Chain A
Amino acid sequence: MHLHRYEKIWLMLGAGGLALFIVLLCVNAFAMGMAPPSNMEMIDPEKVTETPPFDKPGLKQVGDNEYDAYMTAFAFGFAPTKMEIPVGATVNFHVTSPDVIHGFQIPETNINFMVLPGHISSATHTFDKPGEYLILCNEYCGAGHQVMATTIIVK
């Protein structure tokens, strides 16, 4: 098998570029703590409404300007329906589903994960700018999927 000289250079550049991507991703994910949301906790999907803390979905202050948001994503909505936090607050979202698979996305942030029945998904974001952030379901979940949304108000 004979490779043309230019092809050799091209493949080395290509492989080098891909290796660079992998290194950047690894450093960012593992050294800077930006790995994708991969929470391993589980829950019985048929008992979500009776399992604390998801029996009472809501915000809980856990630090100076830090909150835990325990939420449920269900066909077709999110609980709680109203959330308000101060500017600069860090929110740890913990979300699960009592029925089918849903998505949880806050556009223009990196909050974007799947909500699987039986699992608890977690991700953290710090809201530095005030506004009414849209939270929407981005995984098809049934006839009312397009209305499944809520907001989080940052003041």
Chain B
Amino acid sequence: MVIARKIDDTLPHVPVQRSAATLSLAYVWVAYIAFGLAAVAGMVQGMVRGGIMELPSWTNYYQILTAHGVLMALIFTTYFIVGFIFSGVARTTGGSLHGAALKFGWAGWILMTLGTLMAVVTILMNEASVLYTFYAPLKASPYFYIGSALLVVGSWLAGFGVFASYRKWKRENKGKTSPLFLYMGVTTYILWITATIPVAVEVLFQLIPWSLGLVPTINVMLSRTLFWFFGHPLVYFWLLPAYMAWYVCLPRIIGGHIFSDSLSRLAFICLLLFSIPVGFHHQLMEPGISPAWKMIHVTLTLIVVIPSLMTAFSMFAIFETTGRKKGGVGLFGWFKKLPWTDVRFFAPFVGMLFFIPGGAGGIINASNQINAVVHNTIWVTGHFHITVGAAVALTFFGVTFWLIPALTGRQLTKTANRMGMVQTVFWAVGMFLMSLAMHTMGLQGAPRRTDYTTYMDHPLALGWMDYQRVMAFGGGLLFVSAILLILILLYLTFYAPKGNTEYPIAETETTQEVPKILERWPVWIGLVAFLIILAYGYPILQQIQHQAPGSPPFVTW
């Protein structure tokens, strides 16, 4: 094996050809432009809530909050994911994307960017301060909803591009198991397209006609159900690409192997099946849904924890087997053998550490009546900042450090690597302080999504002020980290010396049999449909047949 590695390293790596690399970079850079703007909004928000600064009269907290949420949670994530998956699909299917995939890719980029611009302009004009959950009957400008719809449809086109690549690969490699990265990319898009159908229905058939004044009222309950039908798989759409980097790229970076090809695929299939029929766990504290249906969704939610438990085991196992091969002995000796000074490993690893309390908190949130302790408190904000904002984001950063130079034909230099390490530490410390303060305050009842307030100097609320300052300080560190990140990425895109940067794709140590059933998509899509009908069929029927009197639109900001 040692010999094989050495020879492999001297060979030119399979490049991602220019046409695919350009497409991928176009997505990744829109992602980081959105990220930069969102980081400014986030920092301002932290300072305002911490009581450190006041906003000028031409803007308000909720406009900035909407910008932060939409740009971070919807734009940054979606663009990065689409760009990353395209690059990895090209890398694992021979280095390029064929015509159809490229066409879908660019058509998707154009639609998504048009949609993003519409949404951002309406937010800037203060016509869409409805937060990224846009709960009716708060009514944004119709252009905000149309923009969101374009964003979703554009991402579908990108998905069709990946499906086309998969089909082409299967045609050319009859009977063979598809590359793991490609398989995971396909699973992620099946999840995404299935999950975005309900929100597309909500936007197209409820919100747009209602916001245009074509219909006077809206079924609020149904709109919320459709939103959360999408809202929870959305978080798995963020998580799956991070898992792809963990399962496929990270083992190569640390000089190891994929732990188990089949188990990795199985984990993805479980995530696909059980991350969708669970939306009521976001609606546990609301009227109009019976306790029994809530409990059914809670149970399905807890089942989706199992593939993540598998992932935890796989990750430690990759680290341990690799560390032991490098001479690590004893129970934890292998731990010291990991490449701690390599940002490509360090950033995602820190992300994984955040995912431990993140996952534990998620189980608490989804636990039916216990949700009353944390629902809509700032604990929830802390929760998704350590999951998507740390576990997923740090993984994406770690990927970007090698992805951009690999695509631009430049080198991830020692200096850039070191700056990346500093950036990661700033992000981790900032996020730790901010989310710890948020979790603590949340347990005491401090609400999320709320401008600076002392609630008429109520003693309880006054007790939150110190935590809010800690939160603002953490936000400041995160902002410094974000600036540093943008600078590093500019350097890697335009200034770093030309050269080869590896696109790390690990292989299994031994040839492993992969059960054929794992690639029988009709079976899995059929099961997804079955679980969705089971979990949502009756409740949605009820919500249509026995709906509350509708709500007219309101603009309250």
Contacts and interface: CB of A to CB of B under 8 A. Distances in A.
Interface of A: 1-4, 6-7, 10-11, 14-15, 18, 21-22, 25-26, 28-30, 34-46, 75-76, 99-101, 103, 105-108, 110-114, 116-122, 132, 134, 136-147, 149, 151
Contact of B373 (A38, A110, A114): A110
B305 interface: yes
A6 B548 CA distance: 52
A142 B263 CA distance: 47
Interface stretch (B11-19, B83-91, B364-372): B364-372
Contacts of A145: 62, 449-451
Contacts of B450: 138, 140, 145-146
A136 B455 contact: yes
A40 B339 CA distance: 56
Interface stretch (B241-249, B306-314, B418-426): B306-314
Contact of A134 (B298, B309, B317, B458): B458
A22 B302 contact: yes
Interface string B527-557: 0000000000000000000111111101011
Contact of A22 (B221, B299, B455): B299
B313 A107 contact: no
A101 B376 contact: no
Contact of A149 (B290, B302, B455): B455
17 contacts: A11-B313, A18-B302, A18-B305, A25-B298, A30-B291, A36-B291, A38-B294, A45-B549, A75-B554, A99-B137, A99-B554, A100-B135, A107-B460, A108-B460, A113-B375, A140-B65, A147-B453
B412 to A, nearest CB: 34
A38 B253 CA distance: 50
A139 B309 CA distance: 32
B195 interface: no
Nearest to B307: A11
Interface of B: 60-62, 65, 129, 131, 135, 137-138, 220-221, 224, 260, 262-263, 266, 283-291, 294-295, 298-299, 302-303, 305-306, 309-310, 313, 317, 363, 367-373, 375-377, 444-453, 455-456, 458, 460-461, 515, 546-552, 554, 556-557
B369 A22 contact: no
A31 B242 CA distance: 40
Give the interface centre of B262, B266, B377, B447 by most chain A CB atoms within 10 Å.
B447
B221 A118 contact: yes
Given A22-B299, A99-B554, A29 B291 contact: yes
B137 A36 contact: no
Given A18-B302, A21-B363, A22-B302, A118 B369 contact: no
A2 B138 contact: no
A103 B310 contact: no
B134 to A, nearest CB: 11
Give the interface centre of A34, A36, A41 by most chain B CB atoms within 10 Å.
A36
A112 B453 contact: no
B137 A140 contact: no
A113 B373 CA distance: 10
B367 A7 contact: no
B287 A103 contact: no
A137 B287 contact: no
Contacts of A21: 302, 363, 367
A107 B460 CA distance: 9
A38 B290 contact: yes
B138 A142 contact: yes
Contact of B221 (A107, A116, A137): A116
A22 B371 CA distance: 14
Contacts of A38: 286-291, 294
B438 to A, nearest CB: 14
Contact of A36 (B288, B372, B376): B372
Contacts of B60: 143
Given A44-B549, A118-B549, A120-B287, A105 B445 contact: yes
B260 A2 contact: yes
Contacts of B375: 105, 112-113, 138
Contacts of A40: 287-288, 290
A2 to B, nearest CB: 7
Contact of A114 (B260, B287, B557): B287
Nearest to A24: B367
Contacts of A41: 287
A146 B454 CA distance: 9
A122 B286 CA distance: 9
Given A2-B260, A36-B369, A119 B376 contact: no
A35 B296 CA distance: 13
Given A11-B306, A18-B302, A44-B549, A149 B456 contact: yes
Given A119-B548, A149-B456, A75 B305 contact: no
Contact of A35 (B137, B291, B313): B291
Contact of B286 (A42, A113, A141): A113
Contacts of A30: 291, 295
A112 B376 contact: yes
Contacts of A120: 287
Contact of A25 (B369, B376, B444, B452): B369
Contact of A136 (B138, B291, B299, B447): B447
Given A22-B302, A138-B448, A140-B131, 18 more contacts: A1-B262, A1-B266, A11-B306, A15-B306, A21-B367, A22-B298, A30-B291, A42-B549, A101-B220, A105-B376, A105-B377, A105-B445, A110-B373, A113-B372, A114-B287, A118-B549, A138-B377, A145-B450
B463 to A, nearest CB: 10
A35 B445 CA distance: 20
Contact of B263 (A3, A114, A138): A3
A17 B469 CA distance: 37
A18 B306 contact: yes
Contacts of A45: 548-549, 551
Given A142-B556, A146-B451, A116 B368 contact: no
Contacts of A101: 135, 137-138, 220
B290 A134 contact: no
| Nearest 8 CB-CB pairings of A with B | A107-B445, A142-B556, A118-B548, A138-B447, A146-B453, A35-B291, A114-B286, A138-B376
